[in-house]
């Protein structure tokens, strides 16, 4: 039995079917079957399919033309895989699509379906995000039912892989749902169980004059309004009213543009729609075009790569990838250290060659600050704020059996931190606590620490000496200790009650420095006044240099 059943529905697709099939056959993941359901094509589509020799292809020819929805359901009855994917003859897959989907499926057992990012492509070579609502941010996952109401049907069918048993539990599609059965499936499944999302592009959605969304706009808007009424009791009344106004406005626009029914369209718009929404639409579309000139869309960004920024190596990771990277270091047991990059540290590294070399020698340099994240995202990368304090807490929660050691802080402070970690995570295994009241740490004390740490054979060491002292110390002992070391400068003060955590909104707004400045104005004023100001200059310079370089490359193309 194949792991995935890929259903391809065709009708008079002689010009494109071969390209679509080749995008499936070139997948890195190969445990699949292809169910080709031809809906009575009158051209050479069937002959082209028969010329492709692959035992995974099963061709089924319908005895009568029954349309896309019925053809999908007929093919579904033949599927045997644990997962089912639908790829229409118009669309293409990225080579790594199925591999990424299966990798995602291993994270949770309760996904009803998993989808990836999709990109629309045109005959002239232009490409744009399929879903403009998430063009510059991550796709939602988990409980996305309300997202599907708020943002309508933002998932391309060709990007989805369904769990077959969940799909089979759905009743037959209502007869009045002919244009958007995919939206019907999404709502049904997302209401019951979690949904997974792969952030990379998996599907390429072909755009041309005959696309369904172009031809059947009136029908689609009518069906969406019916679905909103069916699910009305499962959403706030305010959300239902808002979405109905929007779709009635879209319906009026489609009636006027496609069917030339101006009087009927005006009546719907006045009674149930919104003039304001239609007036704002052109400006919103123009703004998205302008934004693409200055902000790199998510699908074009590099993810989980190491880049040079202001002359220093920085790990442009998302948070989950950073956790996995530390886990890999622990299992390898070859030492190494994890530093962090914020505005202060990067500016200091720009001025001090020795400190720059220390950061560039680290295994990972996390994006510990929103100003760093913003700059790297503007330079064509996707990364998230990876605060090392959060990394430590996440690792303690997920991997409590790791043998852990705490290094740093005043006398008695690491013991308080260990007690707090034990309170939060009862199974956490803290093997020893070593304070470092003197900065820099004396050489003889360091030698003693190294000897004791090696005797304890830890899996990981959390180091909290503050920036840049912790980086100097980790670089000094690197190679003498087998366990990886992770800098977590402010964690000990937070867990021992010496300082308060910044509000989450200030962290997201990149204002954590301001919060800390209000707590310690005398100590931090000079640091932030000078280093943060210089960072802004250096970051803008790097971003503008990247933009000019990108424009030159695009011009050559």
527 within domain boundaries = no
- For residue 311, the SS3 value is coil
Our count of domains for the chain comes to 2
Clarify whether residues 212 and 305 are in a common domain.
Answer: no
**What value does the mean pLDDT take over residues 470-481?**
95
- For residue 525, the SS3 value is helix
Clarify whether residues 210 and 344 are in a common domain.
Answer: no
Clarify whether residues 93 and 200 are in a common domain.
Answer: yes
117 within domain boundaries = yes
Clarify whether residues 212 and 321 are in a common domain.
Answer: no
Task: Identify the residue with better confidence: 328 or 550.
Answer: 328
Lowest mean pLDDT among 97-111, 114-128, 520-534: 520-534
pLDDT digits (tens, 9 = 90+) for 283-300: 999 999 888 887 888 888
CATH number at residue 110: 3.90.550.10
Dist CA 493 CA 464 (whole Å): 9
192 within domain boundaries = yes
pLDDT digits (tens, 9 = 90+) for 232-253: 999 999 999 999 999 999 999 9
Q: What is the mean pLDDT of the chain?
A: 90
- Containing H/E element for 407? strand 403-408
Clarify whether residues 201 and 319 are in a common domain.
Answer: no
pLDDT digits (tens, 9 = 90+) for 478-527: 999 999 999 998 899 889 888 877 787 777 777 777 777 787 787 778 77
The number of residues in the chain equals 557
Band the pLDDT of 557: cuts 50, 70, 90. Answer: very low
Q: Of 216, 245, 279, at which residue does a domain stop?
A: 216
**Contact, 85 vs 5, CB < 8 A?**
yes
**Contact, 462 vs 420, CB < 8 A?**
no
Which residues span the domain enclosing 120? Answer: 4-216
**Contact, 135 vs 288, CB < 8 A?**
yes
According to DSSP, the β-strands at 92-93 and 194-206 are antiparallel
Instruction: Give residue 499's pLDDT.
Output: 80
Query: Among residues 16, 299, 284, which one has the least CA distance to residue 130?
Result: 299
Clarify whether residues 208 and 315 are in a common domain.
Answer: no
Q: Of 165, 197, 216, at which residue does a domain stop?
A: 216
228 within domain boundaries = no
Interior CA angle at 258 toward 255 and 263, to 5°? Answer: 35
pLDDT digits (tens, 9 = 90+) for 13-44: 999 999 999 999 999 999 999 999 998 999 99
CA 16 to chain centre: 30
Instruction: Give residue 23's pLDDT.
Output: 95
**What phi and psi, each to the nearest 5 degrees, are found at residue 191?**
-70, -30
Dist CA 24 CA 32 (whole Å): 10
- For residue 92, the SS3 value is strand
Instruction: Give residue 554's pLDDT.
Output: 47
15 DSSP β-pair partners: none
Phi-psi region of 412 (alpha: psi -120 to 50; beta: other; left: phi over 0): left
Band the pLDDT of 212: cuts 50, 70, 90. Answer: low
240 within domain boundaries = no
Clarify whether residues 309 and 417 are in a common domain.
Answer: yes
Band the pLDDT of 302: cuts 50, 70, 90. Answer: confident
Band the pLDDT of 386: cuts 50, 70, 90. Answer: very high
CATH number at residue 439: 3.40.50
296 within domain boundaries = no
Clarify whether residues 350 and 483 are in a common domain.
Answer: yes
| pLDDT > 80? residue 213 | no
Lowest mean pLDDT among 259-268, 373-382, 450-459: 259-268
Clarify whether residues 209 and 70 are in a common domain.
Answer: yes
249 within domain boundaries = no
431 within domain boundaries = yes
Clarify whether residues 31 and 177 are in a common domain.
Answer: yes
Clarify whether residues 58 and 184 are in a common domain.
Answer: yes
Clarify whether residues 507 and 368 are in a common domain.
Answer: yes
Instruction: Give residue 473's pLDDT.
Output: 95
Dist CA 207 CA 210 (whole Å): 8
| pLDDT > 70? residue 214 | no
**Could you tell me what percent of the chain has a pLDDT over 70?**
97
The answer for residues whose C-beta is within 8 angstroms of residue 2's C-beta and 6 or more apart is 31, 32, 33, 56, 80, 81
339 DSSP β-pair partners: 365
Task: Identify the residue with better confidence: 359 or 524.
Answer: 359
């Amino acid at each position: 039995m194949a792991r995935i059943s890929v259903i391809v529905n065709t009708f008079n697709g002689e010009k494109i079917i071969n390209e679509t099939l080749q995008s499936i056959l070139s997948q890195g993941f190969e445990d699949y079957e292809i169910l080709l359901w031809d809906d009575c094509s009158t051209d050479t589509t069937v002959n082209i399919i028969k010329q492709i020799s692959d035992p995974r292809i099963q061709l089924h020819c319908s005895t009568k033309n029954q349309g896309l929805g019925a053809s999908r359901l007929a093919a579904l009855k033949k599927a045997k895989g644990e997962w089912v994917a639908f790829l229409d003859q118009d669309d293409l897959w990225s080579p790594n699509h199925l591999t990424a989907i299966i990798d995602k499926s291993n994270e949770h057992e309760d996904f009803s379906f998993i989808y990836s990012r999709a990109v629309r492509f045109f005959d002239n070579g232009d490409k744009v995000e399929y879903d403009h609502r998430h063009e510059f941010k991550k796709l939602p996952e988990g409980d996305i039912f309300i997202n599907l109401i708020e943002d309508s049907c933002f998932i391309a069918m060709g990007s989805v892989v369904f769990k077959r048993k969940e799909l089979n539990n759905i009743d037959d599609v209502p007869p009045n749902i002919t244009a958007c059965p995919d939206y019907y499936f999404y709502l049904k499944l997302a209401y019951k169980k979690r949904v997974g999302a792969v952030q990379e592009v998996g599907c390429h959605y072909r755009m041309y004059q005959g696309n369904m969304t172009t031809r059947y706009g009136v029908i689609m808007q009518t069906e969406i309004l019916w679905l909103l009424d069916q699910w009305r009791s499962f959403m706030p009344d305010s959300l239902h009213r808002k979405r109905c106004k929007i779709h009635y406005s879209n319906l009026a626009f489609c009636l006027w543009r496609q069917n030339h029914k101006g009087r009927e369209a005006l009546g719907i718009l006045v009674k149930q729609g919104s003039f304001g929404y239609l007036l704002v639409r052109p400006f919103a579309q123009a703004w998205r075009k302008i934004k693409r000139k200055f902000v790199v869309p998510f699908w074009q960004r590099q993810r989980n790569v190491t880049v040079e920024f202001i002359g220093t190596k920085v790990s442009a990771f998302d948070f989950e990838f950073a956790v996995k990277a530390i886990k890999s270091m622990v299992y390898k047991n070859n030492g190494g250290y994890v530093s962090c990059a914020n505005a202060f540290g990067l500016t200091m590294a720009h001025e001090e060659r020795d400190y720059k070399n220390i950061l560039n020698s680290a295994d990972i340099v996390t994006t510990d600050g929103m100003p760093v994240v913003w700059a790297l995202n503007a330079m064509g990368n996707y990364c998230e704020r990876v605060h090392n304090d959060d990394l430590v807490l996440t690792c303690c929660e997920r991997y409590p059996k790791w043998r852990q050691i705490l290094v740093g802080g005043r006398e008695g402070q690491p013991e308080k931190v260990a007690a707090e970690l034990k309170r939060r995570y009862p199974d956490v295994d803290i093997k020893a606590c070593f304070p470092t009241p003197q900065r820099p740490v004396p050489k003889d004390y360091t030698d003693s620490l190294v000897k004791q740490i090696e005797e304890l054979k830890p899996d990981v060491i959390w180091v909290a000496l503050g920036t840049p002292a912790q980086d100097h110390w980790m670089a000094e002992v690197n190679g003498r200790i087998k366990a990886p070391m992770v800098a977590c400068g402010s964690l000990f003060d937070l867990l021992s009650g010496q300082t308060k955590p910044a509000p989450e909104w200030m962290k997201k707004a990149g204002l954590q420095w301001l919060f800390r400045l209000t707590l310690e104005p005398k100590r931090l004023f000079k640091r932030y006044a000078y280093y943060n100001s210089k960072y802004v200059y250096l970051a803008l310079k790097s971003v503008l240099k990247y933009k000019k370089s990108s424009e030159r490359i695009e011009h050559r193309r």
